[in-house]
């Protein structure tokens, strides 16, 4: 994520000019010169508000990046998150910057549980993992992250007998079970990560429906993905896949578990499901299997 967007100011001024012309013209049509002046003034006021909002975001992000990255956060990530360790130095530096910006702007709320610094960092690390390869990406569709002390049911009530530990709900809300989130960072080789899974679902919020196709793929790549996904879901049903069986339920869940595997067990995914890996590496603009090659890792 960037801290300065000059194009936002250009956009706000352009919108202001359009509004001045439109509202001023409408005012002139309906009420003469005085109404025209009022409409133009309203357009200018809206443009100034948009520009103020853009500048405020820039100042907030500059403040977030002004201080050195907290040592305790870096130690937590190295200790708990293998993906952070595998990142090349330049991407790790960007990861740290994006994480600070995310934490400066995202609402992360505990529900009958404290949203501790540890949990906040783990939430941010989940989101930043997904978007790291897209320097201009903003999590604008994210409304709030709710942390629950346990699993929950379809009515979002606590339910210890439920298997639901995460959901990208309406209005850009992400709900995560805190124990499941912590578990996601404990074993780097299990292909399980509820945080990554739900933030991948959140990418689809701007689409009309969840269809299991990564948001933003070209039409050609989308068709390729659909073909690969159908084949791999059938492999899952036959027990011939390294992916979580949950991915066989629905196309959108296949996408979620495939992305978990991409960041958790990239070498194994590349070996056993190369077409899936290739499309996701191009999509995320990240190559974690190659980074593991550099570390001398392998799956025997």
Residue 155's pLDDT is what? 92
Check the CA dihedral 76-82-85-87 and report its sign.
Answer: negative
For the segment 110-139, what is each residue's pLDDT rounded down to a tens digit? 999 999 999 999 999 999 999 999 999 999
Residue 61's pLDDT band, with cuts at 50, 70 and 90, is confident
The pLDDT of 274-297, averaged and rounded, is 97
pLDDT: which is higher, 299 or 87: 87
Contact criterion met (CB below 8 Å) for 150 and 177: yes
Alpha carbon distance 115, 147 (integer Å): 7
Looking at per-residue pLDDT, the higher value among 65 and 32 belongs to 65
Q: What is the pLDDT of residue 55?
A: 63
Tokens 């070996």 found at: 271
User: Is 193:257 a contact under the CB 8 Å cutoff?
Assistant: no
Across residues 242-267, what is the average pLDDT?
Answer: 96
pLDDT exceeding 70 applies to what percent of the chain?
80
Give the C-alpha separation, 73 to 57, whole Å.
23
Q: What is the mean pLDDT of residues 267-278?
A: 97
pLDDT confidence tier of residue 276, bands split at 50, 70 and 90:
very high
DSSP per-residue letters across 147-165: EESS-B-TTS-B-TT----
Instruction: Give strand pairing partners of 148.
Output: 177
Q: What percent of the chain has pLDDT above 90?
A: 70
Q: How confident is the model at residue 52 (pLDDT cuts 50, 70, 90)?
A: very low
**Which has the minimum average pLDDT: 34-38, 107-111, 196-200?**
34-38
For the question of whether the overall pTM of this predicted structure is more than 0.75, the answer is yes
Task: Give the total residue count for the chain.
Answer: 300
Tell me the residue ranges of DSSP E strands in the chain. Answer: 108-110, 144-148, 166-168, 173-177
Q: Which residues are CB-contacts of 110 (< 8 A; sequence separation ≥ 6)? A: 116, 119, 146, 147, 178
Residue 183 buriedness (CB in 10 A; 0-12 / 13-18 / 19+): middle
Q: Are 168 and 198 in contact (CB under 8 A)?
A: yes
Q: In this structure, are residues 46 and 16 in contact, taking their beta carbons and an 8 Å threshold?
A: yes
Residue 1 pLDDT exceeds 90: no
- Mean pLDDT computed over 175-181: 98
Q: What is the dihedral of CA 91, 177, 71, 57, to 10 degrees?
A: 60
């Amino acid at each position: 994520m960037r801290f300065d967007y000059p194009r936002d100011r250009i956009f706000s001024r352009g919108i202001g000019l359009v509004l001045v012309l439109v509202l001023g013209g409408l005012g002139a049509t309906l009420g003469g010169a005085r109404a025209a002046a009022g409409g133009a003034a309203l357009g200018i006021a809206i443009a100034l508000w948009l520009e103020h909002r853009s500048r405020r975001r820039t100042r907030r992000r500059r403040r977030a990046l002004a201080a050195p990255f907290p040592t305790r956060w870096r130690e937590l990530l190295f200790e708990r998150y293998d993906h952070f360790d595998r990142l090349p130095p330049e991407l790790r530096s960007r990861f740290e910057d994006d994480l600070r910006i995310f934490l400066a702007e995202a609402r992360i709320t505990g529900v009958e549980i404290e949203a501790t610094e540890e949990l906040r960092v783990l939430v941010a690390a989940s989101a930043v993992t997904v978007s790291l390869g897209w320097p201009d990406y903003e999590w604008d569709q994210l409304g709030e992250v709710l942390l629950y002390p346990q699993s929950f049911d379809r009515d979002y009530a606590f339910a210890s007998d439920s298997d639901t530990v995460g959901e990208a709900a309406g209005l850009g809300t992400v709900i995560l079970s805190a124990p499941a989130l912590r578990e996601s960072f404990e074993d780097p080789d299990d292909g399980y990560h509820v945080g990554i899974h739900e933030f991948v679902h959140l990418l689809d919020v701007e689409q009309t429906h969840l269809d299991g196709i990564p948001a933003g793929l070209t039409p050609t790549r989308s068709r390729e993905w659909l073909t690969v996904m159908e084949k791999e879901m059938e492999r899952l049903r036959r027990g011939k896949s390294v992916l979580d069986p949950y991915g066989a339920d629905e196309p959108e869940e296949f996408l979620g578990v495939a992305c978990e595997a991409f960041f958790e067990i990239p070498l194994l995914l590349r070996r056993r499901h190369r077409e899936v890996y290739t499309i996701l590496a191009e999509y995320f603009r990240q190559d974690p299997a190659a980074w593991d090659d550099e570390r001398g890792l392998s799956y025997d």
